Structure 1
Amino acid sequence: MRALLVVNTAATETTSKTRDVIARALASDLKVDVAETTHRGHAAELGTQALRDGVQLVVALGGDGTVNEVVNGLLVDGPNPHVPALAVVPGGSTNVFSRALGQSRDPVEATAEILEALRRGGSRRISLGRADERWFTFTAGFGFDADVVRRVERLRGRGRVSTASLYIRAAVTQFYLDRNRWRPPITVAVPGEQAQSGFFFCVASNTSPWTYLGTRPVQLATRACFDSGLDVLALGRTGTSRMLRHAARAVRGRQPLRHASVRTVTDAREVSLHSTRPTALQVDGDYVGEQETLLLRSVPNALNVVLP
């Protein structure tokens, strides 16, 4: 089997030594080429080239951002039988997607799991989400959480290390500075239902959990999975006390609070968002930019993924 190992050595937990160990392990069963990313978007370019070259398997070694880029490169022409399968070796700080697949957090152990799965034919097609034309594997967020991601990326650009405490501090700062919290700009529209306005935060989940704080999963949609549509949570005007209650329930793995300021949608195939002003968007934990409209869609059986 022809395989391409896409390596992001800039990822938090990925080193050249890790790359070499993984490449040697994969070469025991596969005909492997290795490509390292050199710039943002490069993993997507490599994924597309693998598709064009008829490669059968692409292994992404990096964090969730690397995986997202590879997926977008593989699916540049949309889902079809000729798209290479995807395998993931965790190499980032959080690795939500690989953990949602049930993989080991250790990259060497995860590689062994991939090889064993390939020997027994352990792969399946999973649903993915789309935020306009961009694919996502586990989440897309519009508003508050995307602003937090943007804030964290700025801090990391100044040399800060990506840790759970960094995200918590960024979230607290953003919450108290966020003008959208008191003038929520987002409207949520689901086909066949009445549109509802007044939200400052909307997140779509393709699986659960939404993210991790260290080893602790954070759940915003406990029923979301790779075999169903998107689960969407939107929050309206919220004070400190209620936000703390939301956060506590998420960390404990409980359903969101039932309140007039909360909108939930389960197993959705399509959700439209509109904002009265430019609003931040994040996809799989990477900040994308600002926009005023967003179409979220679920695409079933979109990609063949190797599972442990």
Structure 2
Amino acid sequence: MSAITVIINPYANRGDSQHQIDAGLQALATSGLAFDIQLTEYRGHGAELAEAAARNGAEIIVAAGGDGTVHEVANGILRAAEGSEGVASATLGILPVGSGNDFAWGLGLDKGVDLAIDRLRRGQTRIIDVGYVEAEGFPAHYVVNILGGGFDSQVNIEAHKIMRLRGFAIYIVAVLKTLVIYYRNPHATIRFNDETHEFDMLMTFVANGPRLGGGFIAAPHARHDDGLFDICLVHKTTRRDMLLMIPKFMRGAHLNHPKVTMARAARVEIESPEGFPSQADGEIVGNDVRRMVVSLVPQRLRVIV
């Protein structure tokens, strides 16, 4: 096996990113770096391929796709490292060719394929924290960017149904649709830092990075390596107020909104007997999650930046 394994999601950005992937592979080939290529075929396959590559000695595993591909590849790397301490042995690289690329944006890696290949050539790295997610009734997994519960996760579910649009337009249409169809504001109990918050939840974010949904800055002060999550609790409000909130979230200007509570913590518990939809890095955790715990694992993943 080569030192570099490139895991490609051929369906990234609804299958419209193949030309970017081809350009990236051509640039990588001319760089003199030896690499293997593997294609994902189904949901979860990227994690399986990455875990196998890491266990077989790959030094760098590149996720060629969007946030979903990054999520899977990172999970594979981290699974292979379970039982060990410190930083996982394999390094995550990113070729950002998805519809959102929010994790890449948070690390300054969303400027195109040429920059991503240049970063791979240089090999400069940054060690980041990750979150470990335990949701009752669902498999445990890691989150590298943002975990959400409530309205935002329904937006994500609706976005996956939209096939004719590309990029940020997908998320804008999904938000507007969700404003019409989403009526759930489950009563939730959220615990962190020895505090208990009980409220009717519109949505909650546990953020390791700042942005989600291709352009919504949920946690503008979040950093991937500061040892804490940024937590954003959004209380039930009117549809008119929700509509007015959208541009604020696009600018990260919602922090002082009366329906928003911000905090920082390394461990978060979320409970709701009514259940709520949840997503991690844009991947659906479940439609009816009732309890979950998100724990920060500091300095666990090395990323090429």
Q: TM-score, normalised by structure 1?
A: 0.87
After TM superposition, list the pairs within 5 Å mapping 1:226-305 onto structure 2.
226-228=224-226, 229-259=228-258, 261-266=259-264, 268-290=265-287, 291-305=289-303
1:10 counterpart residue number = 11
Residues 1:113 and 2:119 are matched in the alignment: yes
Give % identity. 27
The worse-fitting range, judged by mean Cα deviation, of 127-136 and 221-230 is 127-136
SS of corresponding position for 1:154: coil
Query: Does the residue aligned with 1:304 lie in a helix, a strand or coil?
Result: strand
Distance in 1 of aligned mates of 2:208 and 2:167: 24
Corresponding residue for 2:212?
210
One-letter amino acid of the counterpart of residue 141, structure 2 = R
Letter aligned with residue 174 of structure 1: T
2:91 corresponds to 1:85: yes
- After superposition, what is the alpha-carbon deviation per residue over 1:195-243, rounded to whole angstroms, capped at 9, x for unaligned? 3232131111111133434xxxx32212111122111111122013322
Rounded Cα–Cα distance in structure 2 between residues aligned with 1:236 and 1:286: 23
Deviation at 1:23, TM superposition (A): 2.9
Unaligned runs of 5+ in 1: none
Residues 80-159 of structure 1 aligned to structure 2 (within 5 Å): 80-81=86-87, 83-116=89-122, 118=123, 122-132=124-134, 133-156=140-163
Distance 1:82 1:248, change over 3 A: closer
Mark the runs of 5 or more structure 2 residues left unpaired by the alignment: 135-139
1:58 aligns with 2:61: yes
Once the 2 structures are TM-superposed, how far is the Cα of residue 192 of structure 1 from its aligned partner? 1.1
8 Å Cα contact 2:54-2:77 kept in structure 1: yes
Q: Mark the CA change 1:298 to 1:69 in structure 2 (over 3 Å): closer, same or farther.
A: same
204-213 or 228-237, larger mean C-alpha shift:
204-213
What is aligned with 2:137? none
Q: Which residue of 2 aligns with 1:219?
A: 217
Asked if the contact 2:8–2:39 (Cα under 8 Å) also holds between the matched residues in 1, the reply is yes
RMSD of aligned alpha carbons? 2.0
In structure 2, distance between residues paired with 1:207 and 1:278: 25
Write out per-residue CA displacement over residues 87-117 of structure 1, whole angstroms, 9 at most, x where no aligned residue. 101111111111211124321332123212x
Structure 1 segments (4+ residues) deviating >4 Å? 79-82
Cα deviation, 1:144-167, whole Å, max 9, x if unaligned, reads 1111111111233xxx33343332
Q: Which residue is 2:174 aligned to? A: 170
Deviations along 1:235-294, whole A, 9 cap, x unmatched? Answer: 1220133223432322233242342x433222x100100112231111111222131111
3-state DSSP of counterpart to 1:238: coil
TM-score (norm 2): 0.88
Contact map agreement 1:221 1:255 (CA 8 A) in 2: no
